[in-house]
Amino acid sequence: MVTVMDIREQVRTDVLDYQQLVSYLHDYAKPRDRIGALLAEGSLIRVRRGLYVFGERYRRAPLSRELLANLIYGPSYVSLDYALSHYGMIPERVENVTSVTTGESRRFSTPFGVFTYRRLPPRRYAPGIRWSGEGDVRYLLASPEKALVDKVWTDKGFSSARPGDFNTYLFKDLRMDEQRLSSLNADLLATIARAFASRKITMLTRCLAGGRS
């Protein structure tokens, strides 16, 4: 009988998919039955259909919810409120992991929390994202500049009629950290703004540039 330790010895990371599991259970006529048994005993935990993590006692490192976010639904990268909180740009601690995708907007409730995804057109997707984490735990994360632009763009409750509206939105509504905003990379912001080709984002960059002068 294949045990969870047999599988654990062959997998470098704490996350694995259905095809990997089946390949380790190739001697079983009904590998799904064995997977079901491993799930029932808690040796494996299903994150969503086709995606699993080892039970806590079998993990080699603390579970990365950022990595899970990339894997649950893709292509995607962590951004928006979760990334802004990660960088200390907003004061709130954000529990739901928020991401951006080129697919449809989605929401997943899992044993490891809620993961939400907001859609961006492909041309606006890539500029300003980067790899984060270390070792075998590597995931795509928005830069501070991209997380801010994504937030402003996707927040349909904020429609900017004039530059002064941004000060209210950034500092009163979002309670952004002024020092961290002033340290954003102006060149990267400009690159992201060109990809968005949006009056709203252009006004954001002008507002931030004015705050530096």
The ranges assigned to domains in the chain are: 4-58, 65-212
Confidence of residue 211 (pLDDT cuts 50, 70, 90): low
Single-letter residue type at 153 = W
Confidence of residue 37 (pLDDT cuts 50, 70, 90): very high
Single-letter residue type at 93 = R
Confidence of residue 194 (pLDDT cuts 50, 70, 90): very high
CA distances from 90 to 5, 29, 65, 84, 168 (A): 42, 53, 20, 6, 14
- Summarised one tens digit per residue, pLDDT across range 82-123 is 999 999 999 999 999 999 999 999 999 999 999 999 999 999
Fill in the DSSP letter of residue 102. S
Q: What percent of the chain has pLDDT over 70?
A: 98
Angle at 106 between CA 104 and CA 109, to 5 degrees: 165
Architecture of domain 65-212: 2-Layer Sandwich (3.30)
The mean per-residue pLDDT over the stretch 117-142 comes to 96
Is it the case that residue 213 has pLDDT exceeding 50? no
As assigned by CATH, the class of the 4-58 domain is: mainly alpha
Three-class secondary structure of residue 35 per DSSP: helix
Return all residues near 16 (Cβ < 8 A) that are at least 6 apart.
Answer: 7, 52, 53, 54
Owner of token pair 């044993």: 111
CA within 13 Å, CB half, 34: 18
Nearest partner of 200 among 157, 174, 161, 167, judged by Cα: 161
The mean per-residue pLDDT over the stretch 56-78 comes to 97
Owner of token pair 């500092």: 171
The mean per-residue pLDDT over the stretch 38-65 comes to 97
* Under 8 Å between Cβ of 176 and 152: no
